[in-house]
Amino acid sequence: MFITFEGPDGCGKTTQITLLARYLSGQGIAVCHTREPGGTSIGEQVRSILHSQDNQEMVSQAEILLYSASRAQLVAEKIIPALTEGTTVLCDRYYDSTLAYQGYGRQLDLETLHLITEFATQGLKPDLTLYLDIDPEAGLRRRQIDQAAEWNRLDALALDFHRRVHEGYHRLMEAEPDRWVKVDAARPVEVIQTEIQQIVIEKLNR
């Protein structure tokens, strides 16, 4: 079983996936918990290039290829071998992040992104994708209040970008309703975790 977690920045994916990995291990289920970008030695090196503040001049094409390079390495080195030996894989982001952020957010050509993704993943699709749903506007406003900052042009741009990402995720869910399950991420951590555990156990038992 290959399970991925998606959602906007700050939706709490990382906390939830860590709790789920601990729960499944406690149930005697073999689990591989990994993340994107990263998850392998090469992938983590690529992650530091992608996240470095020194790389402001990075163009969108390079950004996509770097995310995809990290993904290709992760699929070949870790995910496929784990699935082959019957381990359940939990991945914090996968190609849906590229479609949502680079495709819908940055408005790059979706067909090209699908082709690059197919090549990078060897066509490997998740069995289940959990979407942790929070309102991007509320998230950004919360951040703004935290920083006691003025609402400025950049914030407006950022809001537009995050709205498009949010909208993109919803289009992706509509296109493949059997693969996605949306979870309301605006609730307490334990409530969300209980729901996620039920969804995953039901899927594993099917």
DSSP string, 121-139: HTT---SEEEEEE--HHHH
Site string for ligand TYD, 12-31 (x = CB under 6 A): -xx-----------------
Q: Which residue is nearest to ligand TYD (CB)?
A: 101
Q: How far is CA 105 from CA 40, 89, 109, 173, in A?
A: 26, 27, 11, 16
Task: Evaluate whether 33 touches 78 at the Cβ level (below 8 Å).
Answer: no
* Contact flag: residue 6 with ligand TYD (CB under 6 A): no
Measured from the CB atom, the residue of 88 and 97 that comes closer to ligand TYD is: 97
* Contact flag: residue 36 with ligand TYD (CB under 6 A): yes
Measured from the CB atom, the residue of 85 and 182 that comes closer to ligand TYD is: 182
- Determine the 3-state secondary structure of 181 from DSSP: strand
Measure the CA–CA gap between 71 and 74, rounded to whole angstroms: 5
What's the angle, vertex CA 21, arms to CA 15 and CA 27, rounded to 5? 140
Considering only 2, 101, 104, 180, the residue that binds ligand TYD (CB under 6 A) is 101
Instruction: Supply the minimum distance, in Å, between the C-beta of residue 140 and ligand TYD.
Output: 13
Question: Among 80-88, 96-104, 155-163, 168-176, which window interacts with ligand TYD (CB under 6 A)?
Answer: 96-104
Judged by the rule CB under 6 A, the positions of this chain that interact with ligand TYD are 9, 13-14, 36-37, 67, 93, 97-98, 101-102
